């Protein structure tokens, strides 16, 4: 953990170097020093994205994640009661939690990371599980949990002079 001011600046620079050069929303050093939370990195030791997907085959950072939606499904068995409307239910266990990562990308580098790196990671996810970390500010509340990555959607938006697209990455927790 960086302690001195020099170490903090050095650690901040290292995180900033990981951001794609072509990302127009890449923080400046001054922004990062004034507001370290913009780096989504506790103690300046973590990855730079709001979410990080990593496996032995590569790492993808999501810098502009907007909605990390979770669904916690359940198996409820239904039983009907003769002579009554409505059902009674019995708890039969939890189903695998679902995580959907929705956000925006604003550079070709981020597009390539999803289209190439993440797809390659997905192709090899049987043998090389993909771990996902999602941070709220600098705090990782989903921390290195293994998920199956499902069908990735990338929807480019018109009216921007750069690569600008919405993405959706559905994931199902590995059990």
Site for other proteins in 106-125 (CB under 8 A): 106
Please check whether residue 46 is in contact with residue 135, taking contact to mean a CB–CB distance below 8 angstroms. yes
Residue 30 is a binding residue for other proteins (CB under 8 A): no
The token pair that represents 94 in the structure block = 């939890």
Q: Using the rule CB under 8 A, which residue among 132, 135, 169, 170 binds other proteins?
A: 135
CA distance 111 to 105: 7
Size of the site for other proteins (CB under 8 A): 25
Helix (H) or strand (E) holding 101: strand 98-105
Site string for other proteins, 77-96 (x = CB under 8 A): --------------------
Nearer to other proteins, 76 or 136 (CB): 136
87-94 and 153-156: which strand pairing? Answer: unpaired
The token pair that represents 29 in the structure block = 């050093």
Nearer to other proteins, 29 or 119 (CB): 29
Residue 73 is a binding residue for other proteins (CB under 8 A): no
């Amino acid at each position: 953990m960086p302690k001195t001011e020099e170490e903090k600046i050095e650690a901040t620079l290292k995180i900033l170097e990981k951001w794609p050069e072509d990302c127009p929303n890449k923080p400046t050093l001054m922004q990062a020093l004034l507001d370290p939370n913009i780096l989504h990195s506790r103690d300046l030791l973590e990855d730079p994205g709001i979410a990080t997907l990593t496996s032995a085959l590569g790492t993808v950072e999501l810098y502009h994640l907007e909605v990390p939606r979770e669904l916690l499904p359940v198996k409820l068995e239904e039983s009907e009661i003769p002579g009554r409307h409505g059902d009674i239910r019995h708890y039969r266990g939890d189903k695998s939690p679902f995580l959907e990562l929705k956000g925006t990308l604003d550079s070709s580098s981020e597009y390539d990371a999803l289209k190439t790196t993440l797809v390659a990671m997905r192709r090899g996810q049987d043998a090389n599980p993909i771990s996902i970390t999602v941070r709220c500010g600098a705090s990782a509340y989903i921390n290195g949990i293994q998920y199956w990555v499902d069908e990735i959607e990338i929807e480019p938006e018109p009216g921007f002079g750069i690569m600008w697209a919405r993405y959706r990455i559905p994931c199902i927790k590995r059990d």
